[in-house]
Amino acid sequence: MKKLILVLFTSLGFISIFAQRVDLDRFNFTASFRDFPDDPLPAEYKTYNVRIEAAPSLGLGYSAANLENLISIEGLKKVTGTGHITIIAMLDDIVVEKTETIERVQVTKDKQNVEVKKSYFATEMTYSFSARATVYDYKGNTVISNHILYERGNKRTYKTNEYSNPVDAANNFNNKILDIKSNLSKQLVSSAISNLNSYLNSNYGYAIQKVNDIFWVLNNRRHPEYSEHQKAWNNFKGAIVLMSPDQALDKVKEKMKPVIAYYEKVKKIYTGSDKEAKKLRYASYYNLAKIYLYLDDPASAMREADALAMNDYDESDGRHLRAVAESLDEQLRKNNATSRHFPVVISSFQPPVK
């Protein structure tokens, strides 16, 4: 009888422990905001124009105007006349540095295990290309001088198909050299313009970002916090879905208040030093840091990140979130802003009046 009672109490103990186990799962969500430029222009600079200068020898099958259409800085307005900034892209010619015949020897064995050598020949062309961009404003000030898009010193190679003799390889190359250079020109110019577009948007644009991220949510139905944790997650989803890069965060912040209040409550209830309490606090610190990051409140995000790092459970996440919050804080300060959510009405932007 005593053994039966002991087994019963032991079983109940295991059930109790299982019921209190903290199983945290990753729950995915999407958030959106407007990126700030790395090198912001003066606040009144809202327009730009583009000029492409391509070497005639490139033999491009489309006009410079078509290339100019590929440049688009998000958050600024492109104009045909003089903008607040003028972007000039200079695409130089392709220079053939040398051509040479390359031999590849293939060694096989016949049925008598005797080595059989066969040579294959190709023509290899070493070439270079250069492209750069300069940006100046309507007052004549240089904003960026000769930003390198392609470096002449960076040699590239083109290799033809292989042939059984060097004469065929050379003839094939000579017959197709114009097509080869034309195709290379299109590829290089397309890459240079793409590089320039990325550079301009990173430095001066206000690109809309849509990111996927995670929350840590308690997913053990037997835990007493399960239903409230799930409710907080659902409330969070209901708030974050209202987020728009073009609108202020007032509605989102209001909807987020009960979520923040719940995680703050959990931190105060589960204060123990056991692993399960630490995991619950971890989820609270982590989720709060994420909330404050997306509410553009880096100071509060840093506070939660620091607490997470000191919680003695996966402190590396705390250090990472602290770095993200610091980066956001610097970005807001650099752009003299308090939020990444604001309208950009490009149609209202006007070029400068000299």
In SS3 terms, 124-190 reads as EEEEECCEEEEEEECCCCEEEEEEEEECCCCCEEEECCCECCHHHHHHHHHHHHHHHHHHHHHHHHH
Q: What is the pLDDT of residue 20?
A: 67
In sequence order, which residues have a C-beta less than 8 Å from that of residue 100 and are 6 or more positions away?
Answer: 123, 124
Q: What is the pLDDT of residue 19?
A: 42
Whether residue 24 contacts residue 219, with contact meaning beta carbons closer than 8 Å, is answered with: yes
Q: Are 155 and 98 in contact (CB under 8 A)?
A: no
- The 10 Å Cβ neighbour count of residue 311 is 20
Closest C-alpha among 133, 77, 144, 89 to residue 352: 77
Strands (E), the chain: 24-34, 47-54, 77-78, 85-91, 95-109, 115-128, 131-137, 142-150, 156-159, 208-218
Collapse the DSSP code of 207 into the 3-class scheme (helix H, G, I; strand E, B; otherwise coil) and give the result: coil
Q: How far apart are CA 165 and CA 122, in angstroms?
A: 9
Separation of alpha carbons 214 and 251, rounded Å: 21
Q: What is the pLDDT of residue 62?
A: 61
Residue (of 121, 124, 125) closest to 166 by Cα position: 121
C-alpha to C-alpha distances, 287 to 53, 134, 183, 216, 252, nearest whole angstrom: 51, 44, 51, 7, 15
Residue 18: per-residue pLDDT:
39
SS3 210: strand
Measured CA to CA, the distance from residue 101 to residue 166 in angstroms comes to 7
Verdict on whether the full-model pTM lies above 0.85: no
- Residue 93 tokens read as 């010619």
Per-residue pLDDT at 335? 93
CB of 101 within 8 A of CB of 170?
yes
Q: Write down the domain spans for the chain.
A: 20-35+208-334, 47-204
Contacts of 40 (CB under 8 A, 6+ apart): 204, 334, 335
- Tally of CB atoms within 10 A around 140: 6
What single letter denotes the amino acid at residue 150?
A: Y
pLDDT tens string, the chain, 354 residues long: the values are 544 444 334 433 433 443 468 899 999 999 999 999 999 999 999 999 999 998 888 876 566 678 888 999 999 999 999 999 999 999 999 999 999 999 999 888 777 787 788 899 999 999 999 999 999 999 999 999 999 999 999 999 999 999 999 999 999 999 999 899 989 998 999 999 999 999 999 999 999 999 999 999 998 889 999 999 999 999 999 999 999 999 999 999 999 999 999 999 999 999 999 999 999 999 999 999 999 999 999 999 999 999 999 998 888 999 999 999 999 999 999 999 999 999 999 999 999 986
Whether residue 307 contacts residue 44, with contact meaning beta carbons closer than 8 Å, is answered with: no
User: CA 169, 172, 174, 180 torsion: positive or negative?
Assistant: negative
**Dist CA 113 CA 101 (whole Å):** 31
CATH code of domain 20-35+208-334:
1.25.40
The CA-based dihedral angle spanning residues 209, 347, 194, 336, taken in that order and rounded to the nearest 10 degrees? -50
Q: Tokens 């053939």, residue?
A: 96
Burial classification of residue 168, based on how many CB atoms lie within 10 Å of its CB (0-12 exposed, 13-18 middle, 19 or more buried): middle
